[in-house]
Amino acid sequence: MNETDVIIIGAGVAGLAAAAALRRAGRRCVVLEASGRAGGRAWTVAVGGDAFDLGATWLHDADRNALRTLAEAAGDALLDADGPRRRIMMVEGHPATAAEEAGYWRAAEDFDRTCHARAAEAPDVALAEAIAGLRDDPWMATIETWEAAQISAADPRRFSVQDWSANDLTGRNLWVPGGIGALVQRRLAPLAGEISFGTPATRVDWGGAGVRVETPRGTLRAAACIVTVSVGVLAAGGIAFDPPLPASHQAAIAGLPMGLLTKVALHVPGGDMLGMEPGTVMRRRLGRSLEPVMSFHFWPHGARHIAGFVGGPTAWDLARAGEEATQAFARQQLEQAIGAEAVAKVGEIVVSPWADDPLYRGAYTYALPGQAGARAVLGTPLGGRLVFAGEAVCTDGLAGTVGGSFLAGERAAGLV
């Protein structure tokens, strides 16, 4: 006999949104979560007493972001993130001149136009190939790094331009004072009903009329199952499927590698602002190639830390080198931006753990060239009783984001 109608694997944004939708529809469901907390890649910790999001940081495309609606309905104040994000631009160690800024934005428009146009043609190619004709522009390497590695956590040589184009984020970005992870725990998790923490799903048997999900705490039966774990977990065989997933779904998983974005919080005790206004330092360099680069965000929503971001192949290299190497890299990059004397005042440095954690194995997905359709394939229900959800299967232009995870979770709930 079924213990419940739907088993949901994973209490990240997708799993919680699916559970909330099912409960609204009067269905019974149970959420199985391997870790001891809800939120998944939305995770707020305290650094020097201030909130720091190890994962999701901004509510992108805020006007169609369900988490914004949820927060505002509950009376939470959200802050504009776009002004501060653009405030400071450093070029070769000095603040950008008006001419340099204009050159940068002209090149960024060329990049967007060229990539969207190339994405409309067949065959799909890598982002790096799509902009081959623009390489003479001295800003292009900087823009490529920003768009692929920093925003999409991807390697531009392996990143489908069609996937970039489909998920190019527009609209306003908002900050959540207190953190997105805390918001998810406060506002979304309570809508999800029963969450069984410390309960990893190890095997999903979907060969019969319903599904059986095995965990170290026993086996559950239901009419259907929604799987929201990261593609990194699926690719590593973190859950066994019986029967095995069809070739279509296995190919989709292979076509959607996990990118890596590593976040670092550098706490500055005593309220010293190091002479820096709140805002983001996007370090920009003229030239055809770039050395690895970290961008910094000073004093996000008034916190006494600097948030550093590094993505793509550099982030994977640093993850392999270890936490101390990442901390040293952050210090060295910050010294280049604001000088060694200021950096000497930095205290604790916290590094996000996404690469090594077996519950994630990366930050979020990007599609390989030719694989932009893999998100839709992975989201296709199997036998009406097994559905994958999560950021990877979002086809609404918000893949890789909490807004996309929410939509994918609600969609999966509708499908089962």
Binding part of the chain for ligand FAD, among 3-11, 80-88, 127-135, 324-332 by CB under 6 A, reads: 3-11
159 touches ligand FAD by CB under 6 A = no
Report the largest interatomic distance among the alpha carbons of the chain, rounded to a whole angstrom: 70
Contact positions with ligand FAD (CB under 6 A) in 168-207: 200-201
401 binds ligand FAD (CB under 6 A): yes
Q: Does 14 bind ligand FAD (CB under 6 A)?
A: yes
Q: Taking CB under 6 A as the rule, which mask of x and - marks residues 207-246 in contact with ligand FAD?
A: ---------------------xxx--x----xx-------
Minimum gap (Å) between residue 39 Cβ and ligand FAD: 7
Structure tokens at 204: 């999903």
Please, which residue, 18 or 131, has the CB nearer to ligand FAD? 18
Which residue among 195, 261, 330, 350 contacts ligand FAD (CB under 6 A)? 261
Please tell me whether residue 388 binds ligand FAD under the rule CB under 6 A.
no
- Tell the smallest beta-carbon distance from residue 352 to ligand FAD (Å): 5
Cβ 161 vs Cβ 115: under 8 Å: yes
Interface with ligand FAD, residue 60, by CB under 6 A: yes
Q: Figure out which of the listed residues 6, 33, 91, 284 binds ligand FAD, where binding follows CB under 6 A.
A: 33
β-strand partners of 307: 265, 297
400 binds ligand FAD (CB under 6 A): yes
Handedness of CA 338, 84, 87, 295 (dihedral sign): positive
> In Å, how far are 3, 43, 52, 186 from 260, measured between CA atoms?
38, 16, 18, 27
> Contact letters (x/-) for ligand FAD, 315-354, by CB under 6 A?
-------------------------------------x-x
Under the criterion CB under 6 A, does residue 312 sit at the interface with ligand FAD? no
How are the residues of the chain apportioned to helix, strand and coil, as percentages rounded to the nearest 5? 40, 20, 40
Q: CA 101 to CA 267: how far, in whole Å?
A: 30
Does 146 participate in binding ligand FAD (rule CB under 6 A)?
no
Q: Residue 29 interacts with ligand FAD (CB under 6 A)?
A: no
Across the beta sheet with 305-311, the strand order is 94-95, 88-91, 279-284, 295-298, 305-311, 261-267, 349-351
Q: Indicate the SS3 state at residue 334.
A: helix
Smallest gap from Cβ 321 to ligand FAD, in A, equals: 18
Residue type, 135: R
User: Which listed range, 6-14, 80-88, 320-328, 331-339, lies at the site for ligand FAD (CB under 6 A)?
Assistant: 6-14
Q: Footprint of ligand FAD on residues 78-117 (CB under 6 A)?
A: none
CA distances (Å), 261 to each of 56, 195, 309, 367, 386, in order?
A: 10, 28, 7, 16, 30
Comparing C-alpha atoms, which of 210, 228, 212, 230 is closest to residue 220?
A: 212
Shortest separation between residue 286's beta carbon and ligand FAD, angstroms:
28
User: Which residue in the set 35, 150, 280, 314 belongs to the binding site for ligand FAD (CB under 6 A)?
Assistant: 35
User: With contacts defined by CB under 6 A, how many residues of the chain interact with ligand FAD?
Assistant: 42
In the set 18, 21, 29, 41, which binds ligand FAD (CB under 6 A)?
Answer: 41
Is residue 360 a contact residue for ligand FAD (CB under 6 A)?
yes
167, two tokens? 């998920």
Q: Does 10 bind ligand FAD (CB under 6 A)?
A: yes
Let me know if 170 is exposed, middle or buried by CB neighbors in 10 A (0-12, 13-18, 19+): exposed
Residues near 394 by beta carbon (within 8 Å), at least 6 away in sequence: 375, 400, 401, 404, 405, 407, 408
Report residue 146: phi and psi, to 5°. -65, -50
Query: Binding of ligand FAD at residue 32 (CB under 6 A)?
Result: yes
Q: For residue 82, how many other CB atoms are within 10 A of its CB?
A: 14
**Does position 363 bind ligand FAD by CB under 6 A?**
yes
CA–CA dist 158, 204 (Å, integer): 31
Give the interface with ligand FAD as residue ranges (CB under 6 A): 9-15, 32-35, 40-42, 55-58, 60, 200-201, 228-230, 233, 238-239, 261, 263, 352, 354, 359-360, 363-364, 390-391, 400-403, 405
